[in-house]
Structure 1
Amino acid sequence: MATLLHIDSSFNGDKSVSRAVTASFRQAWAEQHPEGTVIYRDLATDPLPHLTAEAYYPGFIPAEERTQEQQAAFALRDSLVTELETADAVLLGVPLYNYSVPSSFKAWLDHIIVVGRTAGEAPSAAGKPATIVTSRGGSYRPGTPMEGRDYNHPYLQFVLGQQLQLDVEFIVPELTLAPTTPAMASLVEQSEASAAQAHEDARARAKSLATQLVA
C-alpha cells in the first residue's frame, strides 16, 4: 500500500486553516488507502533542531568514510531524508508567516536538502508528487495591494520543484484572517469561499493521486 509523508507547520492548532485543509486531504487519502502508511510530523509541537555545521558537512562525505561522530551527527538528517525517499506522496502544510515559510519548516528543509542525494544531478525523490497547502492571511493575487509579497510560493516552487524535482501542486486558501480581523469584515465571504475551494481541491487531489498510485 502507498505511503504518505505528511508535514504540518502551523502553530495555530485547531484554528489553523492549513491544518484543516491538509486534514481534508489526509481523510480522502485514507479512504482510498485504508491500510496504507502515514508518516506524520508536526513541526510546531515537535520542532526539529536547526541545522548545525556538525550535521551539515557529513552530507558531503560518503557514508562509508564518515567517522562515528560524523555518522551520529548526520543520523537525524539521514532519517528525515529516508522518510521523504520512501514516501509515495508528500503533503505539506506551510502557512505564510511574515511573507515566507515558518522557521520550523525551514529547519526541516535544511535537513532534507542534501547535495548529491536529494539535490543535485539526480535527486533521489525526483518525480514524487507533493501537495503544498500554503495558507495566507490576506490576498497576494495580481492586482491586490500586496501582490508580489508572498515569498512562499516562488521559494517552495524553486526548492521543492526545481532543486528536489518533486512534482509540486499548490493549494492556496487565502484571506484567512478575515473572520477575526474587524478591518477585513467585508472579506469574510471571500475567505469562506477560498477555504471551501481549498478543501475541495485537497480532497480531489488526494483521490487523484490515489488512483495514479494504485494504477
Structure 2
Amino acid sequence: MATLLRIDSSASGDASKSRQLTDNFVEQWLAKNPEGQVVTRDVNANPLPHFTSETLGALFTAEEDRTDEQKAIVSIGDELIEEIENADVVAVSAPMYNFGIPSTLKSYFDYIARAGRTFQYTENGPKGLLDKDAYIFAASGSFLADSPVDHQVPHIQTFLGFVGLNVKETFIAGGQAMGEAGEEAFAKAKEQIAAAV
C-alpha cells in the first residue's frame, strides 16, 4: 500500500490556494491509488518549536547523556523523520510570505535535516538519504516565480534535494491577489496536475 505524506503550511486554511492545489493532487492520486494512504502534516495547525540553541544542544548531546527535556526535543525530529521515511511520495504545499516560505515550514525543514539520517556528508559533498519522489504546490499573491526575489520555490526545491527527495513536478499558481490573471494561473496549475498524475 502506497503512502503519500502531505505537508501543508499555509495560514489561510481552506482558502489557501497552495492547499487547494494539493487537495486536487491528492484526489487524483487516490483515484489512481485506491488502496493508498494519505498522512497529513499541517505545520500551520500544529506548529513546531523554532530551532534554538537548546535544540542544537540536545542533538549534539550523546543519547545516553541527554536530560529528559533534551530527549523530548530530539523526539520531535525523530517522529517527523520516521513519518517521512515511511512515506512513498511527499507533497509539500506552501504560500509565499514576504518573498519566502512560512516560518512554520522552515521549522519543519530544520527538524528533518539530520546528518546520518536524512543526509550525510561525503568527500563529494552532502548526499540525501530519503530517496523518494516529491511534488511541490506553491502559490503567491503576485507573479514572482523565477525572479530574483523568489525565495520560495528555489528554497523548497533545494532543501528537498538536499535530503534526497526527487522533485518530480512543481506546480505554481502566481498572481492570487491579482484577480483574473491569478484565476487563470490557478486553473493552469490544476491542468498541469491532471496531466502529471
Q: TM-score, normalised by structure 1?
A: 0.80
The DSSP-based 3-state class of the residue aligned with 1:204 is helix
Deviation digits for residues 24-65 of structure 1 (CA, Å, limit 9, x no counterpart): 0000111122222211012222211212333334444665x4
Is 1:133 aligned with 2:124? Answer: no
Equivalent AA in structure 2 for residue 139 of structure 1:
F
Higher strand proportion, which one?
A: 2
What's the CA shift for 1:66? Answer: 5.0
Equivalent AA in structure 2 for residue 45 of structure 1:
A
User: After the TM superposition, which residues 158-197 of structure 1 pair with which residues of structure 2 at under 5 Å, given as runs?
Assistant: 158-161=158-161, 163-168=162-167, 169-179=169-179, 188=180, 190-197=181-188
Query: CA–CA distance in 1 between the matches of 2:65 and 2:192?
Result: 45
The answer (yes or no) to whether the contact 2:58–2:71 under 8 Å persists in 1 is yes
Query: CA–CA distance in 2 between the matches of 1:164 and 1:61?
Result: 22
Q: Which residue of 2 aligns with 1:52?
A: 52
Query: CA–CA distance in 1 between the matches of 2:184 and 2:47?
Result: 32
The DSSP-based 3-state class of the residue aligned with 1:150 is coil
The answer (yes or no) to whether the contact 1:138–1:176 under 8 Å persists in 2 is yes
Query: CA–CA distance in 2 between the matches of 1:22 and 1:61?
Result: 38
The answer (yes or no) to whether the contact 1:80–1:111 under 8 Å persists in 2 is yes
| Gap regions ≥5 residues in structure 2 | 122-126
Equivalent AA in structure 1 for residue 164 of structure 2:
Q
Cα–Cα, structure 1 residues 59 and 73, in superposed 2: closer, same or farther, change >3 Å? same
| Gap regions ≥5 residues in structure 1 | 180-187, 208-215
Query: CA–CA distance in 2 between the matches of 1:120 and 1:107?
Result: 20
Q: Which residue of 1 aligns with 2:22?
A: 22
Is 1:200 aligned with 2:191? Answer: yes
Equivalent AA in structure 2 for residue 7 of structure 1:
I
Query: CA–CA distance in 2 between the matches of 1:66 and 1:204?
Result: 52
Q: Which runs of 4+ in 1 moved over 6 A?
A: none
Q: How many residues in Structure 1 have an aligned counterpart in Structure 2?
A: 190
Query: CA–CA distance in 1 between the matches of 2:72 and 2:145?
Result: 45
The answer (yes or no) to whether the contact 2:120–2:129 under 8 Å persists in 1 is no
What's the CA shift for 1:68? Answer: 5.3
Higher helix proportion, which one?
A: 1
Query: CA–CA distance in 2 between the matches of 1:73 and 1:115?
Result: 16
What's the CA shift for 1:76? Answer: 0.9
Is 1:123 aligned with 2:132? Answer: no
What's the CA shift for 1:116? Answer: 2.0
Identity %: 36
What's the CA shift for 1:173? Answer: 0.6
The answer (yes or no) to whether the contact 2:3–2:39 under 8 Å persists in 1 is yes
Query: CA–CA distance in 2 between the matches of 1:88 and 1:141?
Result: 28
The DSSP-based 3-state class of the residue aligned with 1:41 is strand
Cα–Cα, structure 1 residues 141 and 86, in superposed 2: closer, same or farther, change >3 Å? closer
